[in-house]
């Protein structure tokens, strides 16, 4: 830190301290010298904290292990690629094959046996998805169909986007790939299928949300 920067920082800190003190002159340190000393101590403490090594970020395996330890119910791990964020979600509701998984801050994914059909609290949310290709994907068969994704617009109304899709085997055993295009947009969904269920997938949630990777931690 240069002398000018130090002086400016001390000056700003003094202004903050003066604002906090108001017109109270009874404090023994409420003098320019006392305030400068407090400001310098604060700056030195901040510099020391910044120089100390930070604890390494937890790995996804560590996050998953901790979530499994503290939560006995069904769990998934969801990675929001556009946001660069991975988080564990716990099941908060179920209606037949439809499950809602949610974070503590009420961001949610709605899955139908592993197929992403809706999002909540993420912004530009997917209201619902209707995919005629779902049966092909679960059965591990090639074919064609449509995927209609409905989004909440700024006026609160749903706006449907329709895509033509082709389903086929992926590069690895047990993986089905769905290639979709329409309205100048193209995307590819990948599903690992086991007994008609989808424990691992990478699914497109929309133009703004982008791809979401979903892994079942506890069914």
- pLDDT, tens digit, 9 for 90 and up, residues 20-70: 434 444 444 455 555 556 666 776 777 776 666 666 667 777 777 887 788
Closest CA to 180 of 193, 192, 167, 198: 167
Do 63 and 70 contact (CB within 8 A), yes or no?
Answer: no
19: confidence class by pLDDT, cuts 50, 70, 90:
very low
Residue 188 has pLDDT above 80, yes or no: yes
Q: Give the chain's length.
A: 219
- What torsion, rounded to 10 degrees, do the Cα atoms 148, 150, 153, 155 define? 120
Q: Which CATH number fits domain 60-218: 1.10.287.70, 3.50.50.60, 3.40.50.720, 2.40.360.10?
A: 2.40.360.10
Its pTM stands at 0.71
Q: 86 or 60, which is more confident? A: 86
Residue 17 has pLDDT above 80, yes or no: no
Q: Given this model, what pLDDT does residue 102 score? A: 96
Domain ranges of the chain: 3-51, 60-218
Q: What are phi and psi of 79, to 5 degrees?
A: -110, 120
Residues 6+ apart with CB under 8 A from 189: 177, 178, 180, 201, 202, 203, 204
Q: Given this model, what pLDDT does residue 31 score? A: 55
| 91-101 mean pLDDT | 96
Task: Report percent pLDDT > 90 for the chain.
Answer: 61
Sign of the C-alpha dihedral computed for residues 6, 8, 9 and 13 taken in this order:
positive
Do 173 and 191 contact (CB within 8 A), yes or no?
Answer: no
Q: Given this model, what pLDDT does residue 36 score? A: 57
Residue 3 has pLDDT above 50, yes or no: no
Q: Given this model, what pLDDT does residue 134 score? A: 97
Q: Given this model, what pLDDT does residue 18 score? A: 40
Do 175 and 188 contact (CB within 8 A), yes or no?
Answer: no
Q: 55 or 131, which is more confident? A: 131
Residue 9 has pLDDT above 70, yes or no: no
Residue 131 has pLDDT above 90, yes or no: yes
- pLDDT, tens digit, 9 for 90 and up, residues 102-124: 999 999 999 999 999 999 999 88
Q: Given this model, what pLDDT does residue 32 score? A: 54
CA max distance for the chain: 82
Q: Given this model, what pLDDT does residue 44 score? A: 72
């Amino acid at each position: 830190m240069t002398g000018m920067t130090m002086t400016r920082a001390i000056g700003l800190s003094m202004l903050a301290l003066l604002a906090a003190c108001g017109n109270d002159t009874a404090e023994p340190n409420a003098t320019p010298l006392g305030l400068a000393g407090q400001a310098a101590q604060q700056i030195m403490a901040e510099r020391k904290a910044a120089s100390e090594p930070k604890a390494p970020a937890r790995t996804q395996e560590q996050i998953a292990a901790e979530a499994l330890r503290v939560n006995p119910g069904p769990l998934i791990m969801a990675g929001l690629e556009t946001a660069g964020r991975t988080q564990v979600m716990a099941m908060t509701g179920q209606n037949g094959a439809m499950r809602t998984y949610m974070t503590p801050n009420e961001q949610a994914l709605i899955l139908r046996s592993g197929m992403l059909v809706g999002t909540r609290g993420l912004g530009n949310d997917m209201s619902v998805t209707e995919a005629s290709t779902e049966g092909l994907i679960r059965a591990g068969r090639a074919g064609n169909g449509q995927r209609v994704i409905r989004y909440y617009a700024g006026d609160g109304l749903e706006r449907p986007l329709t895509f033509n899709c082709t389903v086929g085997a992926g590069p690895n055993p047990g993986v089905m790939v769905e290639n979709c295009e329409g309205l100048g947009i193209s995307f590819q969904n990948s599903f690992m299928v086991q007994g008609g269920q989808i424990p691992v997938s990478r699914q497109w949630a929309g133009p703004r949300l982008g791809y979401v990777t979903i892994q079942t931690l506890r069914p």
